[in-house]
Amino acid sequence: MESLFGLSHSNSLLIYTLVAIILLIFLIAKVNWHPFISLLVVSVLLGMAAGMKLPAVADAIQDGVGSTLGSIAVIIGLGTMLGKMMAESGGADRIANTLLNKFGERKVHWTMMAVAFIVGIPVFFEVGVVLLIPLLYTIARRTKMSLVKIGIPMLAGLSTVHGLLPPHPAPMIAVEGLHANVAKTILYAIIVGLPAAIIAGPVFGSFIAKRIKVEPPKQLSEQFSKKDDRKLPSFGTTMITILLPVILMLIGSLSTVFHESSVIAEWSSFLGKPIIALVISVIVSFFTLGYARGFNKKQLSSFMGECLAPTATIILVIGAGGAFKNILITSGVGNAIADLATSANISPILFAWFVAALIRVATGSATVAMTTAVGIVAPVLAHATGSVNIELIVLAIGAGSLILSHVNDAGFWMVKEFFNMTVTQTLKTWTVMETLLSVIALVLILVINAIV
């Protein structure tokens, strides 16, 4: 099929997508339209330019918003409630005091990376951000340290795990799809992931913090930083409460050990679902950080109502980002990219990384990039000549899925809103950090492949 200026339909789709992204950045950065409106307008225009029927464009936008917010909206709400309880009880202050006393202010950005690396193993990126944001705000307030300097390492730790380290759900997609060895994948992931997270996190964070100055969103910062005369909860109580969703999600991974029809498998799978884990954790926090600290039921109800209002903008923007992503997928951009990548004659590792990277840039979703890339790479590996290290292919796909997060990624807008940054500042910090992670991980994967 011939399309724009005689170009093939696939090439035209790629050009339309590039123009759409440029227009989106222009509307937000120059015209100063709200990201929510800008994303929806650009989604409609891209769908129309790609040749989608008008009702299909509307349906794709609706489905994109619904599928994105189906779980994320609830997770953000529950996570914010848990963060509110940690803040009102003084739990965030207790954790900040303990970490600062143990490691000192000079090393707190390294501490945040390590904590995020551990916390992020069983949870999706968005859940990890919501769990750790209150701690980030509190430490930034207490140390007067740049939010970027300590926040970028936190994001680097969460992103590294999200893309590389099983049993995180995203890497497990590639492990299972390519039939890789889980233990070997974990070993390689640690060897690759830690150096990449260090360079993209504390090292880059310290560099860019000197050039980007931001303050936490006032409403969210205040609700996560309130203090009163109540005695602070113990470090152990606070950590158990805040890590309870992580523990429950780890328990959820046990469901694969037992027969799927067994009661243990059913219950562990149920408890490990992010929404269920967060609901249980919020209820537990009512007792450990609420009633135990002297709050009454009326105060707890007030806290829950107060904390949800500031999340409205974040939820709407993430939903609009989901609409844009779904238009990209529904319009055939993903298939166009797959066709382009398949024609390239490169090594399996570079091919796997390249495919995942292209789909990530087009769709904005690391999980979609990994899932799609596995389907494209698997047949190629079946016909590959010579030995291929499947575990490194898995990591290459994961590394590619992290690159160049931009305006079509829900995580981009989540970071922008929580860090109170402009689009330009988010591109200079978050987008560059994600790209560093991806490229450094690829280089290390290639080095390991040459050795083993």
Mutual orientation of helices 312-330 and 333-342 as an angle, nearest 10°? 60
pLDDT for 205 equals: 92
pLDDT for 153 equals: 94
* Helix/strand/coil percentages in the chain, nearest 5: 80, 0, 20
Q: List, run by run, the mean pLDDT of 10-residue segments along the chain (452 residues).
A: 61 83 77 83 90 91 82 76 79 73 81 80 71 81 84 93 77 79 83 94 92 77 58 84 78 67 79 83 90 86 79 76 78 68 73 85 76 73 71 93 85 86 91 95 94 84
Cis peptide, bond prior to residue 122, ω within 30 of zero: no
pLDDT for 156 equals: 94
Q: What is the DSSP letter of 253?
A: G
What is the spatial distance between Cα 239 and Cα 289, in angstroms, rounded to a whole number? 11
For the CA atoms of 264, 266, 268, 272, what is the dihedral angle to 10 degrees?
A: 180
pLDDT for 255 equals: 64
- Please tell me the pTM assigned to this model: 0.68
Q: Are 322 and 70 in contact, with CB atoms under 8 Å apart?
A: no
Residue 309 to residues 149, 300, 316, 389, 394, Cα–Cα distance (Å): 27, 15, 12, 49, 40
